[in-house]
């Protein structure tokens, strides 16, 4: 394998070196891998939590779980999914590939990079420590039970005794520090570490989108941290920030949380866009359509997404001007998003499309993200939201985005970049099984989940009466989970098996155009033996087609 | 800034690069901070221990980077990386000897769209006023109707709608001209993209779709306005606009599309741009 040629600078004692290697590493590739593996473990954990909840909800008046345990499960499922699966996995891929794509040897601040990962890691561990404290494990220990957005006044000591809420609060504080570190690193790396010739306009869209994500994280995490410090003051120091009886304002928490929470959605979706924007062109054999428009749309989404948060508060009661403002801004987000979808379609249009597994997941992303976006526009309409807020319709909507969009993009990224990270291909055959079974399970679960929402089933109920017409739909949703779980098992098996036995990948298995494919798989510690210089957005195209390079036309 | 501050100077000896040395302080600092947080829940001693570790880790970290960042030299094994495509064949459109082209090859100037929009607007207005005379014995009826979309000062009674209102005339004229020019510009941009029969598509098909869309949603969006619209006449006026605007636009002289990006035309010179003595005409 190509990696054998990496020179090891210092003699190491073999026995403990492996563990120490990973604990002490400042290599962006190793840190990226740690993020990804860590997130995968949590993906399986949150999946198990979902399975438990779906068993409980499959039939009416089920006693499989206690109400308490159910509350803890959906809180942990949501919190884990956003903070300890989606964010680390996306940051992990960014960590691994931003420096490679811009021709750098590492991130701008390698030590900060390691620190950021470990903060995120310990945040997740602290969160899960809550299961093993307090009450019996069967009822979820002392895990938080306040929902992933932890509305006040439920989080006050009076309504949330014990330390569950504190676990939630403190672990997210830790993870937040990690996210901010990662954001600073992305911004500095993209702005300052590009190889010669790579102007901002010649950066891969991947780098652009991670730059915007970094900016969004910086702006979004701070209000959450501020609110969490206030909550800590309330819970430990007798503060009254969110205590209405003492003149505090629970609604203030909502605003603080969603000023973080909505941009957070884009913190997750923009890196997913980044994956799609790299994979789609390669498997369509065409350059990305409308590069400048894509950059502008990304920046536009980033900007507008900071002004839409109160669409989560329509049912709280705002003045009509407030409602109108947040309806309009939310709908405006659909414009740059639409531009992107059309540009991706135009990229595929007339191309010589290869339906390899990464491409399949991209196409799944396009369809599902579109539908999730459309139900989003529906929910953005205040009167519609008055009817359906906090119903299963909302749950189905955001799972369409998070699973149907973000997770599909993540799968595409896995199949596309796994060969670069490990030197071995993931099995195409298993990949196709993974794709089709997951698509089936996804649609069984989440298409049919819209219906009980429309019929009035509120989210977060731990059970429901028979005879309300919700049973069938919930049963179908639960059956879908079986397929999703099976697909994930295939995926995990594929990863483990291919890591040891997969076909050798070579440097450039997909015949791609960005710089990460111009080095060995996996890349040496120093990424490139000599720093590359580029002249266009597709440097490898220029080398492969010297008679017709891109740089003549960009 | 495109160079590497932390790696060996580029272009020099390639057999060795300096990479930041591995360090345990970041993970220890994270441990310290996590213990501080954990102590808030469990016990003050844990927080104290965490604080000690955090301070120690900070000191260690600083000593790692100050006064000089610690590096390890890594020997570079030069590798022959061959970058070739297995797909040598490239499909291209190759019109007029260009290897690549910005499409469409010819476009209408912006003025064409404005002229078309204004001409279409006149045709549409005339037809609408004719409709007013035929159905309500007043040329002001359609004008009032349009004006009232944004300026609803007039009671919706028949005599009021047929009378002359200066405010409504002004509002309606402004609305009408703005919309016509904008749609005209859209026509000017779109028509070169439509492969065949641009006037048929732009003049008949587009107004039909557009009217159908409006017809289906207006009853929800503005039911009062909806009651006052005669959809056959509405469609007729849209088609009048589309045909006239289309014909006017198509009769303008086309100009070739700029085949080089703006930065090149503006003569911007910077790394990565065209360059290297590559001559272009
Ligand atoms: Cu939102």
Q: Which two tokens stand for residue A469?
A: 């017409």
**What is the model's pLDDT at position B205?**
86
DSSP letter at A2 equals: G
B203-217 pLDDT per residue, tens: 888 889 988 988 888
Interchain CB distance below 8 Å, B40 and A232: yes
B64 interfaces chain A, CB cutoff of 8 Å: yes
**What is the model's pLDDT at position B5?**
37
Residue B154: pLDDT over 80: no
Task: Give CA torsion, residues A463, A469, A475, A481, to 10 deg.
Answer: -80
For the segment B42-54, the average pLDDT, to the nearest whole number, is 93
Residues whose CB falls within 8 Å of the CB of residue A343, separated by 6 or more in sequence, listed in order: A288, A289, A290, A293, A294, A297
Interchain CB distance below 8 Å, A26 and B6: no
B43: number of Cβ within 10 Å? 11
**What is the model's pLDDT at position A281?**
95
**What is the model's pLDDT at position B93?**
64
Chain A residue with minimal CA distance to B23? A24
**What is the model's pLDDT at position A4?**
40
Domains of chain A (ranges plus CATH)? 27-548 (1.20.210.10)
**What is the model's pLDDT at position B94?**
59
Which CATH class name applies to B13-75? Answer: mainly alpha
Chain A residue with minimal CA distance to B264? A554
B3 interfaces chain A, CB cutoff of 8 Å: yes
pTM to 2 decimal places:
0.85
Residue B281: pLDDT over 50: no
B120 to chain A, closest Cα gap in Å: 28
**What is the model's pLDDT at position B6?**
38
Give span(s): CATH 1.10.287, chain B.
Answer: 13-75
**What is the model's pLDDT at position A208?**
96
Residue B92: pLDDT over 90: no
A1 to chain B, closest Cα gap in Å: 13
- Which positions of chain A have pLDDT values less than 70? 1-16, 135-139
Rg of chain B in Å (alpha carbons) = 35
**What is the model's pLDDT at position A252?**
93
User: Cα(B193)–Cα(A178) distance, rounded to whole angstroms?
Assistant: 49
Chain A residue with minimal CA distance to B74? A9
Instruction: Count how many pairs of residues, chain A against chain B, have C-beta atoms within 8 Å.
Output: 172
**What is the model's pLDDT at position B152?**
66
The phi and psi torsions of A534 (rounded to 5 degrees) equal -125, 160
Q: CB-CB: which of B11, B19, B23 is closest to A526? A: B19
Please indicate whether residue B160 or residue A326 has the higher confidence score (pLDDT): A326
B130 interfaces chain A, CB cutoff of 8 Å: no
Please indicate whether residue A120 or residue B87 has the higher confidence score (pLDDT): A120
A259 to chain B, closest Cα gap in Å: 24
Helix (H) or strand (E) holding B17: strand B16-20
In the block, residue with structure tokens 């690549």: B100
A368-380 pLDDT per residue, tens: 999 999 999 999 9
User: Cα(A425)–Cα(A364) distance, rounded to whole angstroms?
Assistant: 21
Residue B251: pLDDT over 90: no
**What is the model's pLDDT at position B195?**
67
Chain A residue with minimal CA distance to B70? A111
**What is the model's pLDDT at position A141?**
76
ipTM of the complex: 0.90
Q: Which residues from chain A sit within 8 angstroms of residue B21, using beta carbons?
A: 26
The closest of A128, A153, A156 to A72, measured between CA atoms, is: A128
**What is the model's pLDDT at position B277?**
43
């Amino acid at each position: 394998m190509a990696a054998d040629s990496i020179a090891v600078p210092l003699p190491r004692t073999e026995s403990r070196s492996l563990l120490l290697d990973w604990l002490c590493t400042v290599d962006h590739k190793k840190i990226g891998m740690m993020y990804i593996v860590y997130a995968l473990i949590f993906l399986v954990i949150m999946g198990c939590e979902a399975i438990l909840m779906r068993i409980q909800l499959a039939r009416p008046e089920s006693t499989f779980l206690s109400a308490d345990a159910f509350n803890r499960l959906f809180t942990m499922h949501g919190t884990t999914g956003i903070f300890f699966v989606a964010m680390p996995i996306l940051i992990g891929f960014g960590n691994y590939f931003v420096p490679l794509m811009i021709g750098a040897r590492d991130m701008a601040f390698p030590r900060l990079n390691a620190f950021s990962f470990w903060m995120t890691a310990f945040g997740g561990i602290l969160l899960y420590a809550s299961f093993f404290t307090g009450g019996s494990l069967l009822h979820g220990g002392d895990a938080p039970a306040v929902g992933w957005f932890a509305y006040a006044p439920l989080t006050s000591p009076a309504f949330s005794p014990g330390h569950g809420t504190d676990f939630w609060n403190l672990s997210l504080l830790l993870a937040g520090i990690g996210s901010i570190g990662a954001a600073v690193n992305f911004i500095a790396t993209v702005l300052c570490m590009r190889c010669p010739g790579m102007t901002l306009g010649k950066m891969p869209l991947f780098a652009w989108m991670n730059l915007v994500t970094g900016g969004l994280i910086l702006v979004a995490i701070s209000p959450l941290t501020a609110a969490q410090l206030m909550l800590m003051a309330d819970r430990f120091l007798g503060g009254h920030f969110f205590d209405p009886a003492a003149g505090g304002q629970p609604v203030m928490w909502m605003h603080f949380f969603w000023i973080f929470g909505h941009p957070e959605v884009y913190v997750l979706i923009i890196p997913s866009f980044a994956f799609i924007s790299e994979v789609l062109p390669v498997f369509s054999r065409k350059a990305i359509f409308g590069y400048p428009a894509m950059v502008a749309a990304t920046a536009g989404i980033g900007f507008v997404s900071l002004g839409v948060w109160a669409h989560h508060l329509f049912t709280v009661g705002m003045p009509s001007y407030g409602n109108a403002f947040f309806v309009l801004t939310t709908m405006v987000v659909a414009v740059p998003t639409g531009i992107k979808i059309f540009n991706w379609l135009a990229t595929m249009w007339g191309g010589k499309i290869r339906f390899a597994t990464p491409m399949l997941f991209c196409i799944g992303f396009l369809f599902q993200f579109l539908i999730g976006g459309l139900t989003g526009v529906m929910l953005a309409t205040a009167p519609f939201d008055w009817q359906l807020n906090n119903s299963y319709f909302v749950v189905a909507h955001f799972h369409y985005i998070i699973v149907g969009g973000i997770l599909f993009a993540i799968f595409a990224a896995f199949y596309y970049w796994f060969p670069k990270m490990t030197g071995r291909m993931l099995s195409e055959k298993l990949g196709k099984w993974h794709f089709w079974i997951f698509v089936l399970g996804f649609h069984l679960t989440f298409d049919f989940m819209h219906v009980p929402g429309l019929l009035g089933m509120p989210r977060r109920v731990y059970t429901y009466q028979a005879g309300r017409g919700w049973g069938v739909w919930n049963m179908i949703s639960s059956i879908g989970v079986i397929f999703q779980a099976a697909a994930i098992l295939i995926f995990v098996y594929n990863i483990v098996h291919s890591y040891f036995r997969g076909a050798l990948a070579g440097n450039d298995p997909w015949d791609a155009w960005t710089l990460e494919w111009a080095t060995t798989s996996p890349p040496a510690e120093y990424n490139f033996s000599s720093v590359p210089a580029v002249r266009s957005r597709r440097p490898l195209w220029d080398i492969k087609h010297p008679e017709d390079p891109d740089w003549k036309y960009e | 800034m495109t160079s590497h501050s932390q790696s060996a100077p580029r272009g020099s000896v390639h057999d060795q690069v300096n990479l930041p040395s591995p360090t345990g302080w970041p993970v220890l600092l994270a441990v310290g901070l996590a213990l501080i947080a954990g102590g808030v829940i469990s016990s003050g001693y844990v927080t104290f221990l965490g604080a000690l570790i955090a301070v120690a880790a900070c000191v260690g970290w600083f000593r790692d980077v100050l006064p000089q960042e610690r590096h390890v030299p890594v020997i570079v094994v030069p590798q022959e990386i061959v970058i070739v495509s297995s797909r040598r064949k490239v499909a291209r459109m190759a019109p007029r000897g260009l290897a690549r082209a910005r499409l469409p090859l010819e476009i209408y100037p912006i003025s064409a769209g404005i002229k078309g929009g204004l001409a279409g607007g006149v045709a549409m207005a005339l037809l609408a006023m004719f409709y007013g005379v035929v159905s309500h014995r007043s040329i002001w009826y359609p004008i009032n109707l349009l004006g009232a979309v944004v300026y609803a000062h007039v009671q919706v009674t028949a005599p009021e709608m047929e009378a002359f209102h200066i405010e409504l005339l002004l509002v309606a004229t402004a609305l009408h001209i703005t919309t016509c020019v904008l749609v005209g510009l859209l026509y000017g941009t779109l028509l070169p993209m439509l492969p065949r029969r641009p006037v048929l598509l732009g003049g008949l098909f587009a107004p039909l779709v557009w009217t159908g869309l409006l017809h289906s949603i207006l009853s929800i969006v503005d039911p009062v306005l909806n009651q006052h619209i005669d959809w056959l006449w509405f469609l007729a006026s849209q088609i009048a606009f589309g045909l006239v605007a289309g014909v006017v636009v198509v009769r303008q002289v086309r100009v070739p599309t700029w085949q080089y990006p703006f930065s090149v035309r503006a003569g911007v010179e910077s790394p990565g741009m065209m360059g290297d003595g590559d001559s272009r005409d």
